[in-house]
Copies of this chain bind each other. A is one copy, B any other.
Amino acid sequence: MKREILRARTVSVGVSILWFHLCLSVFICGAVGLLLASPAAAKEKADLLVTGGTVVTMDAQRRVIEGGAVAVVGDSIAAVGTSADLEARYEGANTIDAHGAIVMPGLINGHAHAAMSLFRGIADDLSLDDWLHKYIFPAEARNVTEDFVAWGTRLGILEMLRSGVTTYADMYYFEDAVARVTKEAGMRGVLGETIIDFPAPDNKSVPQALEYTQKFLDHWKGDALIVAAVAPHSMYTCSEKTLQDAAALARRNDAPILIHIAEAPFELEQSRDKYGLTPVAYLARAGVLGPDVVGAHCIWVDHADIDTLAHFGVGCIHNPSSNMKTAAGVMPVVEMLAAGEAIGLATDGAASNNDLDLFEEMDLAAKLQKIARMDSRALPAEQVVAMATVTGARALHLEKQIGSLEAGKKADLILVDTSAPHATPMYNVYSQLVYALKASDVKTVVIGGKIVMQDRQMLTLNEKEILAKARDYKKQIAASLVNPAAN
């Protein structure tokens, strides 16, 4: 009996020990499993997580996600969704709380002369002739240097970033300096060196300009933010040969071509008188047009011209403020969009606007089409927001990289605060963006995943220094106009 008891006890102890080990193993395995499978450990890393906003994606479905979020990895968007979803999936190294704000693609300013911000309001309310010949040309001849361009561009960039522009297209002189300060500011740019048939501040001849431009294109090839471009000024300031040489240079280098097209009535008249063709027909015949061309203005275009522009895949840029202020005319935006044209929105230079505010341009674009057509339904708000973002990206031939909040695109996004009195209450987010919200409501700006403005604090620019330099330059410029010998 004792042996049996002993055996039984031994078995029992053995079973207990076994049981204990089994339990311990299960516990350890479970704990390790739990550790491995814990939500924290399973989360993907994001460099930046923007959560809690009204995300206006501008994707093909035009999704607007309330309580939405954007996850950024490196310089690109990794995911767009609800905050709940993305917070469960991502661990953000940096986070931005977007409650009370719209999160949307950064605005695209399709045509500017940023450095001309130093000429803001130098002369207004004049005929085009007086404005150009008594003020702009003399002021440029006497003042535009590489230093001028660098500081003027910084001023323009400062204003654009503050108003939510993350990409701009520029046409000016010393464009290598433009590219340098744009890169320093962390902004994206399609920057075209101007080719023109008269001595310019940087290059005194077309061959010189073409040589400068080749070096400029080489310098910036493959840059993450800068797309170097070639900018033959227009058909009325460039011979056919200049236009063709510039286009050939661009195409040898896979660079976009920026050009003014059919901006003013005189251009149409001259073109008809000289060639019996509209400006668009003339540029088509010269071989300039193509899917790499970005045409600013495109106002004086007939039905055939609209078809031609669509046929070649030319991006067309609307500049409502400038076109109204200089009395250039009204771009037939509605017809061009109907023809499948990619239409972008822009400010033009501050000398003819007089600011670089794409919110103002959105408001004006919608209102100008309505009044010009006497149709309050023309160009609804959603289409205008598209022009400033996704359609604008298409106009700059950058639709694969920017223009909407979608996984794989560059992380160019802005937060627009919706709490101001002028934006309260809100019924429709597109209406609010076009007709009520202002540049001053832009809170935070992210370009290529990098925060360049946060809660209206500039992180890549020395605002005080730029403004001081601008005020200094103003004194010099004003003196140079009163007394040409001053500079």
| A residues apposed to B, CB below 8 Å | 118, 120-128, 131, 155, 158-159, 162-163, 265, 321, 323-327, 329-330, 350, 353-357, 360, 363-364, 366-368, 370-371, 373-381, 419, 421-428, 431-432, 435-436, 438-440, 463, 466-467, 470-471, 473-474, 478
What are 27 pairs between A and B in contact, CB < 8 Å? A120-B424, A121-B426, A121-B427, A121-B432, A121-B436, A123-B427, A124-B428, A125-B376, A125-B378, A125-B381, A126-B376, A155-B424, A159-B422, A162-B421, A162-B422, A321-B363, A323-B371, A325-B366, A327-B378, A350-B436, A357-B438, A364-B367, A368-B371, A424-B467, A425-B474, A426-B474, A440-B440
Contact A470 B424 (CB under 8 A): yes
Give the residue of B377, B422, B426, B473 whose beta carbon is less than 8 angstroms from that of A356: B422
Q: How far is the CB of A323 from chain B (nearest CB, A)?
A: 7
Q: Which of B124, B159, B375 contacts A435 (CB 8 A)?
A: B124
Is B355 touching A124 in the complex (CB atoms < 8 A)?
no
Nearest Cβ distance between residue A142 and chain B, in whole angstroms?
15
A427 touches B367 (CB 8 A): no
A122 / chain B contacts, CB cutoff of 8 Å = 427
CB distance from A317 to the nearest CB of B (A): 17
**Contacting residues, chain B, for A363 (C-beta < 8 A):** 321, 360
Inter-subunit contact B368/A324 (CB<8 Å): yes
**11 further contact pairs, Cβ within 8 A, besides A122-B427, A155-B424, A350-B436:** A124-B380, A128-B376, A155-B421, A324-B368, A326-B370, A327-B371, A327-B373, A357-B438, A424-B471, A438-B440, A440-B440
Chain B positions within 8 Å of A379 at CB level: 125
B residues less than 8 Å from A473 (CB atoms): 425
- The chain B residue with its CB closest to the CB of A467 is B424
Our pick among B324, B325, B350, B425 for the contact of A118 (Cβ within 8 Å) is B425
**CA A371 to CA B438, docked complex, whole Å:** 23
- Cα distance A438–B363 when bound, in Å? 14
Q: Are A121 and B374 in contact (CB under 8 A)?
A: no
**Residues in B neighbouring A120, C-beta threshold 8 A:** 424-427, 436
Q: Using Cβ atoms and an 8 Å threshold, which residues of chain B touch A162?
A: 421-422
State in angstroms the CA–CA spacing of A136 and B270 once bound together: 49
Top 10 A-B pairs, shortest CB-CB distance: A425-B474, A324-B367, A125-B380, A440-B440, A354-B435, A121-B431, A324-B371, A327-B376, A159-B421, A158-B421
The docked-state distance in angstroms from the alpha carbon of A315 to that of B314 is 49
B427 touches A127 (CB 8 A): no
How far is it, in angstroms, between the C-alpha of A330 and the C-alpha of B374 when the chains are bound? 10
**Within the complex, which residue of B376, B425, B466, B467 is in contact with A471, where a contact is CB–CB below 8 Å?**
B425
Q: In the complex, A8→B423 CA distance in Å?
A: 96
A275 to B121 CA separation, bound complex (whole angstroms) = 48
Contact A478 B125, beta carbon cutoff 8 Å:
no
Given contacts A120-B425, A425-B120, contact A439 B438 (CB under 8 A): yes
* Inter-chain contact B124/A421, CB cutoff 8 Å: no
Q: How far is the CA of A265 from the CA of B376 in the complex (A)?
A: 13
Cβ of A361 to closest chain B Cβ, rounded Å: 12
Q: Which of B127, B357, B373 contacts A377 (CB 8 A)?
A: B127
A141 to chain B, nearest CB (A): 18
Tell whether, in the assembled complex, residue B126 and residue A377 are in contact, meaning their CB atoms are under 8 Å apart.
Answer: yes
Contact A425 B470 (CB under 8 A): yes
The CA of A427 and the CA of B119, in the complex, are separated in Å by: 8
Q: Which residues of chain B come closer than 8 Å to A423, judged between CB atoms?
A: 355
Say whether B124 contacts A474, CB under 8 Å. no
Contact present for A325 and B435 (CB under 8 Å): yes
Complex contacts, A357 vs chain B, CB 8 Å: 422, 438
Known: A124-B435, A435-B353. A463 touches B421 (CB 8 A): yes
The chain B residue sitting closest to A372, CB to CB, is B371
Q: Which of A163, A421, A428, A473 has the most CB of B within 10 A?
A: A421
B325/A421 in contact, CB under 8 A: no
- Would B419 and A467 count as touching, CB distance under 8 A? yes
Query: Which residues of chain B have C-beta atoms less than 8 A from A380's C-beta?
Result: 124-125
CB contacts (< 8 Å) of A370 on chain B: these are 324-327
Considering the complex, give the chain B residue whose CB is closest to the CB of A154: B421
Scoring A364, A435, A474, A478 by chain B CB atoms within 10 A of each residue's CB, the highest score goes to A435
Interface centre among A118, A367, A381, by most B CB within 10 Å?
A367
